[in-house]
Structures are given as C-alpha cells and as structure tokens.
Amino acid sequence: MSVPPGGGRSPVARPRISIIRRTLAIIGGVLLALFVALLIIGLAMPDPPTTVAPSVSASTTGPSASAATSSAAASPDANSARPSSARPTSERPSPSRSARTTPDPLPRKKNSTSPTSARAPADSALAAVAALTVKGRAAKTGYVRARFGSAWPDSDDNGCRQRDDVLNRDLRSKTFDGCKVLTGVLDDPYTGKTILFRRGQRSSAEVQIDHVVALSDAWQKGAQQWSQQTRVSFANDTLNLLAVGQSVNASKGDGDTATWLPPNKPFRCQYVARQVAVKKNYGLSVTAAERDAMVRVLSGCPKLRLPVRTAIPAHPAPRPKPEPPAPKPPVRQPSAAAGGGGNCAPGYDPCIPPYPPDLDCSDVDGPISVSGDDPHGLDGDGDGVACESS
C-alpha cells in the first residue's frame, strides 16, 4: 500500500473523520437540548403537597421571591434544581415570617375594676365611686359602740325612737301603739325572705336594724377624727339604716363591700349604691379592694343612681284613751288616829282601811299624808302626800 507523500493520512480518510465529528456534534447538541428541555419541564412542574414549615428567609409575596426564583433558574446546582425552590408564581403564596404584615397592636384593655373604665352617667352610683378616697384601713384601736352615742335615740325630734322610725319605714301591714310598731311584715332585703315581726321580749330581736356602713368600719376609715356629735348623727342617719333579719345581720358583722355582700343577689346593686352614698356624704375612705368590689357590682347596673334619704312615714296618732269609769262612792273612813288602831292602816292621815284589800286614790278622799311603808302604794312619787288630785 502506498503512503501519501509527507507520511499523512490519505485524502479519503479525512472526509470520513469530518463526517464522524459532525455526527457526534449533532448527537451531542440533541442530547444537550433534551437535557435542557427536561430541566425546564422539571422546573415547571408544581410542588407536591408538603407539610414542611414555610421558609423564614424566602417569601413568595414580595420582591425577594422573584429574585430568588431567577437566581435558582440561573444556577442549576443541587439545591436550586429541587422542585420546591421553583414554584410557579400562579400558586397561592405560602406565609413567610419575614414578609408577614404585623397588625397594629390592639389597644390595651383597661383594668376592669377602674372606676374610669365603665361608661356610666355622671350622676350614677358607679361614677360616684371615683370620688371616694382610696387608702388603707386604720387600726380599730379605741372603737366602742359608745363612741357613736346610745342606741336609737329620737334623733330627728319626731317623738319616736330611731328604731321605731326604721321599722315604720321598712315593714308593711303594721300595727302601732303610738310610736311603737307592735306587729308587721318584713321583706328582708338581704335574704329575700319574709319575716313576721311581733314586738316582745324575745321576738323583737328577730328583726334588727343594720348600719349599712358598719360603725367599726367607719371608725377605721375616717370617723376617728369626727366630733362626737357627727358620730351620733352618722349612727342614726336613716340613709345608713335598714331593717333586716337577725341571722344575716350577724353574718355580716362589720364587713365592707370587699368582704361581704347580701346573699340576695338582686339587691346587691342597691346595697352597694347605698354604701357609696353614705361614704360619699361623710367623706369616708375605701380600701383598694373595696373600691374594686364596688365597681364590679355596680358595673352590672351602670345607670343606677345614688339613693337619697327618704322621709319617715308619720306614725299614727295614739288611740284615744277610754273614758274613766264613774267614781266609786268614797269609803267611810274611821275617825281613829293616823297612828293605827281599830280599822285604820298605819302611816296614813286621815285614816284609811288597812291592807288588804288594796285601795287606790279613787277609793279614798285625798290628799292623804303618807309615812312609813305605804302598803296601799298611794304615794307614787314618794313625796309624802298621796292622792293630791282625788
């Protein structure tokens, strides 16, 4: 076989090599095109459902999302080639912490026990709580009931004791003996129960008069600085007095709104409103817990007004006394001396019959001088002269 000059390949072999190279180039181009097409199809496919938490740094809702997508398409490394990094923009964007719009903070809710938090009319009991001074409770040292005077005088000068005035106001179906309430019916505001009242040594105590603001509570919250006259007026102020049952009054003791409320829940608003009115009128302070309890109760009745002092009903006129019986004929008196003897009682001058039987001034002619024991009890005033008007 002859070799071409210069020792190179034959002219026939060169075209074959060129054809092979072109063929390989075409095949490589086709394979590259297929690879690119498969890559594009893979990137365009939607992500499968996943429960993985959304990325903190990548959000599809802002400009950073589109930049991240472009970067992923331009750099087909192992991470960017994953379907999850190239979601179509038509999908619903997943939430992102970095792109989440933070809502404006809600206004802080005010303390529910603050008097200013409730919208109440200016003349309501709830609004009046704000006018009360809030301070700690003073010591109870020095408190005795006598600091507020004796119990139940006639403080309003109507001729009747204060207890009878309150019974007259708070009871129904009453009977009287002058100022005294003999019988009646109490609808106990503290319990809602009905109590039959009958005056008597044992039965009278079943209905008691309660100081709505207890005297010892007032003592610890301002009354120590009052004059005796002011304390007596406070203790007998009918605005601060209610007729209630014996047992519930004992359970209350000297508690304030924070420590005691009536078991009868429908009455609690009126009870607390009365406490507010009394403390406001007399400038008594309240503790923080007491103030909060007042607001809590009165928030359920924000339009309730402060109670005011009501007039005591007039007591009925006393029954007319029956006409006195016709005078008995005078007893003939013996003429013996007053020193006794015969049918004369000792110690009387002029002479009257001895005891028994018992005699009264209608049985003898007076006046009569009395000395000694006075067995007939004629000298009621003890001045030594009996039956002056007989």
pLDDT tens profile 375-385: 777 777 777 77
pTM of the model: 0.54
Distance between CA atoms of residues 333 and 73, nearest Å: 146
For residue 111, count other CB atoms closer than 10 A to its CB: 11
pLDDT above 80 (res 94): no
Give pLDDT tens digits for 30-88.
Answer: 888 888 778 777 766 666 555 444 444 434 444 443 433 444 333 444 344 344 444 44
Q: For 266, phi and psi rounded to 5 degrees? A: -60, -20
Single-letter amino acid, residue 319 = R
Residue with tokens 């490394």: 77
Domain borders along the chain are 116-298, 327-390
Distance between CA atoms of residues 348 and 355, nearest Å: 12
Query: What's the pLDDT score for residue 213?
Result: 98
| DSSP-assigned letters across all residues of 186-224 | EE-TTT--EEEEE-STTTGGGEEEEESS-HHHHHHTTGG
Give pLDDT tens digits for 119-160.
Answer: 778 889 999 999 999 999 999 999 999 999 999 999 888 889
Largest CA distance in the chain: 207
Instruction: State mean pLDDT over 2-17.
Output: 56
pLDDT above 60 (res 7): no
Beta strands in the chain (DSSP E): 172-177, 180-187, 194-198, 207-211, 241-245, 348-349, 368-370, 385-386
Structure tokens at 34: 């297929």
Instruction: Kindly indicate the confidence band of residue 177, based on its pLDDT and cuts at 50, 70 and 90.
Output: very high
Structure tokens at 359: 């005699």
